[in-house]
Amino acid sequence: MNAVIALTDVLRDPRVWRGSADAVVLATEPTGYAALDAVLPGHGWPKHALSEILFEADGIGELGLILPTLARLTQTERAVVLVGSPYLPYPLALAAQGINLRHLHLIDATGREALWASEQCLRSGACAAVVCWPLQANERALRRLQVAAESGHALGFVFRASSAARNPSPAPLRLQLALHASGTTLNILKCRGGRVPTQVLSLRSARRA
């Protein structure tokens, strides 16, 4: 016969999510975009977790979405690592956005090597944030990154094509950027700790506070 486990013992397990709003206190990092913070649970990027950003085409604002956060982290002398960037970052442009280049590191890798490098950086405990562009990443690979971000207490950002939206993901936060005639819009597909907001934000109007 299976042992009977008291409900109170089950609820003490930190892995059990409790629906009461009072019981959920999310640790977050402000995005730098007032309108986005206003609709996200905890009002920012979930700390020690993976945030997935899906986008339709290069250059529609995907990197700009996280630059305020990366700038703030590097200005406090915390390490930020970019893994597998599809383009060579332009130092002067990043510096103009407030990035302290002394604390920004680049890793040139693709495919499995990019996933491996991202996981090691996230898990190291030495990086405040790790940004990666895996060309292909299945649910298992993303789960490894999520676990690494938790154990290394780092922010993880993964950029992927919008077509990945139809696949499941363990990332606590999933955002999707789309290009329209009026500009780039931002839609929240998934967020841990609260209901998924229904409104679609204009990236331009959501600009930093």
- Tell me: the pLDDT tens digits for 122-136? 999 999 999 999 978
Q: How far is CA 28 from CA 10, 46, 124, 143, 180, in A?
A: 26, 4, 20, 20, 30
Residue 182: band (very low, low, confident or very high) from pLDDT cuts 50, 70, 90? confident
Q: Are the CB atoms for 192 and 150 separated by under 8 Å? A: no
More confident residue, 23 or 154: 154
Calpha distance 155→112 (Å, rounded): 20
Look at the block and give the residue holding tokens 């649970």.
41
Give the pLDDT of residue 26: 75
Distance from C-alpha of 199 to C-alpha of 67, rounded to nearest angstrom = 23
Q: Which pLDDT value is given to residue 21?
A: 46
Per-residue model confidence as pLDDT tens digits over 65-121: 999 999 999 999 999 999 999 999 999 999 999 999 999 999 999 999 999 999 999
> How far is it, in rounded angstroms, from Cα 10 to Cα 150?
22
Q: Band of the pLDDT at 2, cuts 50, 70, 90?
A: low
- In this predicted structure, the answer to whether residue 23 has a pLDDT above a threshold of 50 is no
Mean pLDDT of 35-60: 93
Share of the chain above pLDDT 90, in %: 74
pLDDT of 192: 87
Could you give the domains of the chain?
Answer: 34-203 (3.40.50.300)
Q: What is the pLDDT of residue 16?
A: 54
Contact 186, 199 (CB under 8 A): no
Mean pLDDT for the chain? 89
